């Protein structure tokens, strides 16, 4: 008992604790004993007596890296005091099963927490070295760039990829024969043959790369012309209909004459205007051979805004602007402009100019709005479609080919 009291005092154990409690307080929270050997003796004491042997000499330091397994000759496992089935406390050198189970559950929970938050597990590596502590996302190899550019893929799809069967009237229009309506009339008249047989149905599905198609005895080329898009600064006095002496398409005569040099072996494209501008209106108009694009851009349901500059013959007052902004009925439909505002007077003329923005796109819509307000139109010019504005350096009667970014601008700036 004297030895036990001395040992308790050496580790600051409260003296009021019982012997089993003091032994657990001294050794229960430690993994291994210090170099002290416990020795239990049988006695007539109520439970058991514990005595301490002399400290064993410390082992000599090994030259190699020490093993993680402790040396049983140097130290002994912590004694566990467990109450048996008879209610009496007993001492054992291995932990009880319930303690082992609790430790296993705690370790498994710690592993699951590391898997859920890998950044916490990498905290030590980040503090130790910058190079070795990079996050997995940063160490991941960057995605490989595409093998071919977007322009190369588009060229392949338009020229080499196998085409899907399409309606005969549409194929003839894409081949530059005529408009879809005119092609339908040619088909109904029996002037179109497919693979040697007369075809009278415009809805017949054909593949231009595989089928043999003739129109009026002339074979259609198996190659389709590329899709083209142009912005034209329309002069006053030109019309949008094709085949007329002063049509907008006649401005491309020189361009089409040199087509065989630009695209040898490829049929000439059949160009047409997207929407219409009346003969007295000038400014921006789009010309293309892409029917689907033209339909999407010109249809009123697209709600694409169009900006006009109207030169007025005579004075303009505030009540005129209010009348224009209130709108008017055209073909039984109420049309209200999106924007009406006066512009600064130009130095070379004293006439007032008004900016009008609409999205309906109905026939003569801007002229009807101005006439309904009691004003006379001296000149009308369209300067913008969508977000694409007429280039200021594009001369009257000139055209410029549009790029992909320009096509996206045409479809932008919608209303609603």
| % of the chain surpassing 70 pLDDT | 69
Is 255:206 a contact under the CB 8 Å cutoff? no
Nearest-angstrom CA–CA distance, 92 and 28: 12
The residues annotated with a catalytic role in the active site are: 278
Interval 239-294: pLDDT, tens: 988 777 789 999 999 999 988 888 888 888 889 999 889 999 999 999 999 888 88
The region of weakest confidence among 58-72, 218-232, 244-258, 337-351 is 58-72
Place of tokens 């190699």: 64
Interval 79-117: pLDDT, tens: 677 777 777 777 777 777 777 778 888 888 888 887 765
pLDDT at residue 342 is higher than 50: yes
Domain definitions of the chain by residue range = 2-52+77-97, 162-219, 229-410
- The yes/no answer on whether domain 162-219 falls in CATH 3.40.50.970 is no
Is 394:401 a contact under the CB 8 Å cutoff? no
The region of weakest confidence among 157-171, 244-258, 295-309, 387-401 is 157-171
The region of weakest confidence among 208-217, 279-288, 314-323, 405-414 is 405-414
Strands 205-206 vs 166-167: parallel, antiparallel or unpaired: antiparallel
For residue 6, give the 3-state DSSP assignment.
helix
Provide mean pLDDT across the span 8-36. 49
CA angle 135, 141, 145 (to 5 degrees): 140
DSSP structural state of residue 272: E
Confidence class of residue 78 from pLDDT cuts 50, 70 and 90? low
What is the reported pLDDT for 237? Answer: 92
Domain 229-410 is in which class? alpha beta
The region of weakest confidence among 39-43, 52-56, 325-329 is 39-43
The region of weakest confidence among 16-20, 65-69, 157-161, 392-396 is 65-69
């Amino acid at each position: 008992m004297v030895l036990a009291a001395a040992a308790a005092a050496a580790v600051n154990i409260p003296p009021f604790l019982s012997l089993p409690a003091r032994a657990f307080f001294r050794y229960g929270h430690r993994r291994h004993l210090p170099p002290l050997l416990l020795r239990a003796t049988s006695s007539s004491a109520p439970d058991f007596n514990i005595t301490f042997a002399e400290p064993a000499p410390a082992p000599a330091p090994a030259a190699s890296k020490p093993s993680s397994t402790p040396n049983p000759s140097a130290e002994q496992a912590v004694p566990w005091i467990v109450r048996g089935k008879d209610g009496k406390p007993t001492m054992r050198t291995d932990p009880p099963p319930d303690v082992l189970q609790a430790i296993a559950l705690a370790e498994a929970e710690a592993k699951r927490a590391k898997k859920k938050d890998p950044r916490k597990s990498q905290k030590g590596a980040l503090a130790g070295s910058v190079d070795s502590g990079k996050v997995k996302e940063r160490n991941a190899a960057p995605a490989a760039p595409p093998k071919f550019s977007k322009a190369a893929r588009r060229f392949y799809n338009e020229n080499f990829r196998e085409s899907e069967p399409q309606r005969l009237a549409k194929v003839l229009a894409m081949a530059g024969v005529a408009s879809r309506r005119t092609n339908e009339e040619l088909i109904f008249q029996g002037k179109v043959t497919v693979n040697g047989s007369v075809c009278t149905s415009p809805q017949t599905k054909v593949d231009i790369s595989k089928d043999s198609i003739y129109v009026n005895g002339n074979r259609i080329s198996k190659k389709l012309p590329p899709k083209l898009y142009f912005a034209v600064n329309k002069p006053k006095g030109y019309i949008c209909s094709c085949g007329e002496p002063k049509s907008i398409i006649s401005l491309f005569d020189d361009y089409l004459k040199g087509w065989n040099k630009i695209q040898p072996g490829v049929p000439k494209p059949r160009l047409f205007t997207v929407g219409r501008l009346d003969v007295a209106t000038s400014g921006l108009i789009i010309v293309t051979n892409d029917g689907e694009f033209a339909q999407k851009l010109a249809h009123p349901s697209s709600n694409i805004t169009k900006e006009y500059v109207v030169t007025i013959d005579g004075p303009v007052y505030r009540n005129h602007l209010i009348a224009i902004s209130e709108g008017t009925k055209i073909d039984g439909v109420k049309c209200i402009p999106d924007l009406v505002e006066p512009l600064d007077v130009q130095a070379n003329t004293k006439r007032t100019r008004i900016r009008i923005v609409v999205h309906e796109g109905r026939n003569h819509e801007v002229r009807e709005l101005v006439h309904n307000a009691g004003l006379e139109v001296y000149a009308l010019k369209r300067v913008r479609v969508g977000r694409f504005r007429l280039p200021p350096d594009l001369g009257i009667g000139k055209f410029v080919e549009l790029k992909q970014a320009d096509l996206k601008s045409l479809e932008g700036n919608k209303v609603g």
